[in-house]
Amino acid sequence: MKLRRFLVVLAAWAVLGTAYADITGRVIGVLDGDTIDVLVDHKPVRVRLGQVDAPESRAEFGTRAKQALSKAVFAKVVHVKTSGTDRYGRTIGTVMVDGQDINRLMVAQGMAWVYRQYLTDRSLLDVEAKARQGRVGLWADPNPVAPLEWRAQRRGG
């Protein structure tokens, strides 16, 4: 009985240990301002930038957010500090390029909001406030529509 319990605990530890394993690979695609495809061991892994929410592709600043993320990561080797998966099966994490936090960069450039619902690093709020105060990126618009609101409007609710 103890052996079986030990094996169950060991199996659970192995699964959980790999579920949040950091990944490193080359960016082979940028889907929008907060989602990329990273080639890891010859397989694409879809990565959603954690704690940030960029405008949707068809929303105001959506194209510019995608362009900014592409400039920062496309064809580069990235290291992703993973924090889990979302309901779509995407890996969620902080994307790093040469030691630079790309999630933070997107907020600083005014290309993404801090996603308060999933926020764990409260210092991102200061980065967003500075971008807002400087009217950088999407903050140049006097009334930018947050992606969460934009999606709700599109759904009719």
Is residue 60 annotated as a catalytic residue, yes or no?
Answer: no
Based on C-alpha coordinates, what's the Rg of the chain?
18
Catalytic pick among 4, 5, 90, 135: 90
Q: 55 to each of 21, 38, 45, 131, 149, how far by Cα in Å?
A: 28, 21, 22, 15, 10
Is residue 56 annotated as a catalytic residue, yes or no?
Answer: yes
- Residue 103 corresponds to which tokens in the numbers above? 């999630």
Is residue 64 annotated as a catalytic residue, yes or no?
Answer: no
Rounded Cα–Cα distance for residues 115 and 138 (Å): 15
Catalytic pick among 4, 5, 46, 48: 48
Residue-wise DSSP of 18-84: HHT--EEEEEEEEEETTEEEEEETTEEEEEEETTEEPPPTTSTTHHHHHHHHHHHHTTSEEEEEEEE
Catalytic pick among 4, 26, 56, 132: 56
**Residues with catalytic annotation?**
48, 56, 90
